[in-house]
Amino acid sequence: MLSLLISLTVGAVVTAALLLTPLHYAFAILLGTLAFAGVYAVVLRQVMLKLNAAVETAQKDLAANRVEKAVRIIEDVQKKFGPWQFYVKQQMNSQIGSIHYLKRDFSKAFEYLDQGFARHWVGMAMLAICYLKRSQNGKMIDTFEKAVTVTRKEPLLWSLYAFCLDKIGERDKAIKVMERGLKKIKGDERMEENLKLLQDGKKMKMQPYGDLWFQFHLEKTGTLMRLHTKAVQGRRKIVRR
């Protein structure tokens, strides 16, 4: 990456120059290392400031339903800043893939999510679900395992993993996944409830996760509308009381 290369070059030049002076070599190396760290910090900060500003602009376009414009901005960010910093390309792939997934363009989403960032847990979960939709259950499991290895504290991720396992008829494995997740996230009521449902041979309840759950398109639109209507009616009854 360019930021690291520039910093290493500066550090090496400073060290080499100081070694030509009467200064002790240990101090020369120390000062060269400090020069490397200082330059790297400055360059990284400038890159991240510009990157974050561009991503914020893209998010505003998404909020305004200017999807294509948002994708173009993220692609420009990827091209401009990808060579400067580690994992920028992968992170932007996850962002773009997630946008296509939300639009239900699962084929296009897969192209980006497959080259995404492991720590972007939403993108990883979407990739796993793409494998599920393609009946590639082994790859689905591998992807979820990779995701929960680096993102251990996200309840919905563990629940999604278990939900998908249950969906392919692997209820025992789903139960074990929920048990593993609860060891990492102790006392999560939604996970505890879903674990109990699986143990009782019933379907998991994912609606309490709200929009975070609905974005994965694992329930049909008609089902979601009925659930939404039922929830609204329930709230009206409470108000009348």
Q: For residue range 95-151, list pLDDT tens digits in order.
A: 999 999 999 999 999 999 999 999 999 999 999 999 999 999 999 999 999 999 999
Q: Is the dihedral of CA 163, 168, 171, 172 positive or negative?
A: negative
Alpha helices in the chain (DSSP H): 2-19, 25-63, 67-81, 88-102, 106-113, 121-133, 137-150, 155-167, 171-184, 189-199, 211-214, 221-240
CA distance 121 to 102: 15
pLDDT tens digits along 4-20? 888 889 888 888 988 88
Average pLDDT over residues 61-69: 86
